[in-house]
A and B are shown apart, each in its own frame.
Chain A
Amino acid sequence: MSGHQKTFRNRVKVSERHGAGEWTAERLSALALAPLGLWGAWAGFELAGGGYAGALAWLAQPVNSTLLVLTLLVSFWHMNMGFKVIVEDYIHRPATRGLLLGLSGLLCLVLSAASVFFIVRLALGSAPLPAGFGA
């Protein structure tokens, strides 16, 4: 650890690497997801049995589409961190561990982008895909 300068705050050594930041990020996202998760359950209740038209009407309301984007983005972030904790506990081969973490990170990024893309289209009432993409 010679390359790192040791600093202390309130006589407690400040983390030299990014572990403390990850710890805080896990808690912050959990704190945000507590109300968002409850809202998600309520959303599921409202959407159940509503069918295609019901889902479109639900997503057309800005409150719902905004909260859904927020919930999903924080969820993807949180679950990527949770997956990392599990993988670091059970997978000991550095190559396998790195591969799994890389794949999960990539998957969560793709899920984030795709979800926002779909929700924006649905909220704006765009024609069903692949409209606008060669069809």
Chain B
Amino acid sequence: MPVTIDIHTHPDFFEAVNSDLDQLEYHRQALGLYHATIAPLQHVFNQMNCAGIDRLVLLPLDLTTIDGRPVVSNEEMVKITALAPERFIGFASVDPHRPDAVEALEHAFADLHLAGLKLHPSRQKFYPTDSELTPIYECCLRFNKPILFHAGISLEPDTNSKYARPEGFEEVAIRYPGLRFCLAHFGWPWVTETAALLLKYPNIYTDTGLLYFDSAREFYDHVFKTELGEHWIDRSLRHQVMFGSNNPRFEQIRMIDALRHIGWRESTLELVLGMNALEFLG
């Protein structure tokens, strides 16, 4: 049975990082998930089992120069992944505006053994081509770690999508052909732009964490069969699209069910649901 991986989940409401109501409220406001409740570990496992997901990639976010704190820190990621190392894959995050950003990232990779880097240009307020990102990209190359960028519009507060248009990442792909990076959410609403980049640059990946309108089946049908050509993913982009739910904002169980019924070849589905994530993670 091929492995099934959700490449895009947020641990912000896990019990392990919400020891008091202040933390919970900060997480709610920071993510704009105003009614989210604390998730016991068993509940996370129940959701995974119900959706048929083997492993979650968990994404923190460092907002040191924006909010004066991370939403979930790299040290907390170590604590969370230790709860279920066979099921959780922890990423790091650094605020690129931190003077010690590179040192923090080296520490996250070398000492904390985190599996990749999450960056959110819209929330952390940088363009992918800003010069302060250069040493961060080089650090990822040095450690052979992938980057998952938020791309497209963000529903989080205090975000501007001008930083995260898919076209803004092309220069990074040109400069660093060996750097694997993911434009999350298929860069929605600029999904055609994302598809064009995937076609040209094999080091760019994307994920399926988009459910901005309608039910999962309706929205995926619209995006993957109307906005994009019905066969584009199944024929041309099948090695670069990864299942990601953006849980808890969207709906992990219904989204993966919708993908299982979308009509791609079984081999494409296996790639999207897990095999591509393994390649991406390295």
Q: Do the two shown chains form a genuine complex with each other? A: no
Chain A residues in the interface with B (C-beta under 8 A): none
